[in-house]
Amino acid sequence: MGNNSTARAIPAEQQTEAALMPFLDVLASPPAGAARAFRLKGRVESIGSKHFQPEELPTFDIAVQPPHKMRISLPMGDTQLTACRNAQHAWVAPESALRPFLDGLPPSGSNKVFQPLELPFSGKQLALLPVLLEIQDKGSSPLDGSSCKVVDVRIQPAVARLMPPEAQGWAVRLWLNAAGTPVRAGVSMPAGSAVFRVDQMEFSAELPSGLWTSAEDAKTLSPGDFEQLATRLFKQGPQR
């Protein structure tokens, strides 16, 4: 009883900082800890206006290895869609399922480049996290029979202006379990919104090299076309 009371007494800001710090340490420039990458696996509750039935939640797999590698896998209909960027190279698969989206892309030009997947802060500067983030306590909410702390997180406007344009305008709602681990996340950004159930989290010095290898039936894209396609697919959402 006493332990539960102590857990509830921990300020939302402190709980949020503890939950986010492993990710921020990886994304810091340079990374602040031994981990240089992270991978998340789980289920998708909704993307945009598309909401899935609880018993039919599709899965997701997100791998990030700063400063230049990211891979996202989501279902689209009966097909598992994979999009990957590695340095200034990008690919999506399967091309056959994406052809209707690829055919309609307007010319993006050749000057677009991928920005590094990192925060403009060092590990020491992350100690100023309370100044960098705006955190709002939204109370508690039941999830799978357990009570979770709910918090809204966004980058302070003055700090957001220092970020690349594609990293601005983000907001996240987190559900933290009794151990302070994120188990659900609602993400809002200019391209759209999504809600994820987080089932697995992995932090490591390096992710398997095979993750970045072009898949069968993959289409190579320029950075500009890759970002246009990602925005279009995010708004479309996985269909079932």
pLDDT tens by residue, the chain, 240 residues: 444 444 456 788 888 988 998 998 999 888 888 899 999 999 999 888 888 888 889 999 999 999 999 999 987 767 889 999 999 999 999 998 888 888 877 776 668 888 888 887 787 777 776 677 889 999 999 999 999 999 999 888 777 676 666 666 788 999 999 999 999 999 988 777 889 999 999 999 999 999 999 988 999 999 988 888 877 776 665 444
Determine the Cα–Cα distance for residues 169 and 39; give it in Å rounded to an integer: 23
- The strand pairing partners of 196, in sequence order, are 44, 185
Q: Tell me, which fold does domain 2-236 have in CATH?
A: outer membrane lipoprotein receptor (LolB), chain A (2.50.20)
- Side chain identity, residue 157: P
Task: Say if residues 151 and 16 touch (Cβ distance below 8 Å).
Answer: yes
Domain boundaries, the chain: 2-236
Task: Say if residues 219 and 93 touch (Cβ distance below 8 Å).
Answer: yes
- The strand pairing partners of 61, in sequence order, are 41, 73
The predicted model scores a pTM of 0.84
